[in-house]
Amino acid sequence: MIHYRNINVDGINIFYREAGSKQKPTLLLLHGFPTSSHMFRKLIPLLEDSYHIIAPDLPGFGFSDAPSREKFKYTFDNLAQVALRFTELLGLKKYALYIFDYGAPVGLRIALAHPERITAIISQNGNAYVEGLSDGWNPIQTYWKDPTDKNRAALRQFLTPESVKWQYVHGVTDETAVAPEAYTLDSAFLARSGNDEIQLDLFLDYANNVKLYPQFQEFFKSKKPPTLCVWGKNDPFFLPAGAESYRQDNPNALVHFLDTGHFALETHAQEIASHIRQFLR
């Protein structure tokens, strides 16, 4: 059974999904853009018999609060701080991280701050190497270099319902396997008043994630956490080279490529769950 809960994290209401016995090893699932913990709806039932699973919605996403930009600065540092405080309020002492997309820079900041709490890392298209950035990042990188109103406005294309659906179905061999409620729900959340500016702020701040890549890589090299990469090889944003690069710093990292796109769980949840079970055992 999945439970749908809320917790106050320093004045911000955080929605999260919880399943499995608290006596089992904990797996913390961190979602990406433009989605929420809803992306894990297929994975959680496949793992809850063996693991204690926690999947929060980050501030500005899903069913969690989206404080105004005047009250909360939307940076990945701040998202990670909220996520870290969330784990502490829940009393999570040790946990494996499942990092996807935005969940990677959030989760890896937690790992840098408290490496002793991280039992393993599962990266599903969660990038930490420049080799993994595709040309799809070019408009966003232009905004990093020259944060003008014009360059900011150009990124609104990523927030349209058409673009959100494209992110789900691009690289998928059978588009009919992708549930329409997934990208429809994401678009509904993006359409909330003020959320477009929140997302544009995070696009700009993503540059600071790339600046942290060397620190993330040093963590992999020095701590060598057990690492599994399960990667949709047709991802238009994060290339397979991003998965292979984990082995540069942690030669024991396991890498599996799946014939799908960015949202690999939509089409390959069973296969990913099988890899996770074998890996965490």
DSSP 170: T
pLDDT score for 14:
98
Handedness of CA 66, 71, 76, 79 (dihedral sign): negative
Tell me, yes or no, whether 172 lies in a domain. no
pTM above threshold 0.95: yes
pLDDT score for 91:
98
pLDDT score for 170:
98
Tell me, yes or no, whether 243 lies in a domain. yes
Tell me, yes or no, whether 250 lies in a domain. yes
Tell me, yes or no, whether 196 lies in a domain. no
- Print pLDDT tens along the chain (281 aa): 999 999 999 999 999 999 999 999 999 999 999 999 999 999 999 999 999 999 999 999 999 999 999 999 999 999 999 999 999 999 999 999 999 999 999 999 999 999 999 999 999 999 999 999 999 999 999 999 999 999 999 999 999 999 999 999 999 999 999 999 999 999 999 999 999 999 999 999 999 999 999 999 999 999 999 999 999 999 999 999 999 999 999 999 999 999 999 999 999 999 999 999 999 99
Tell me, yes or no, whether 91 lies in a domain. yes
pLDDT score for 223:
97
What residues contact 87, with CB distance under 8 A and at least 6 apart?
28, 54, 95, 110, 117
pLDDT score for 39:
98
Point out the residues that are catalytic.
262
pLDDT score for 219:
98
pLDDT score for 98:
98
Tell me, yes or no, whether 166 lies in a domain. no
Nearest Cα residue to 123 out of 16, 3, 216, 51? 216
Burial of 220 (0-12, 13-18, 19+ CB in 10 A): buried
Domain count, the chain: 1
Tell me, yes or no, whether 98 lies in a domain. yes
Tell me, yes or no, whether 33 lies in a domain. yes
| Residue 105's CATH number | 3.40.50.1820
Parallel/antiparallel/unpaired status of strands 12-19 and 52-56: antiparallel
Range of the domain at 238: 2-135+208-280
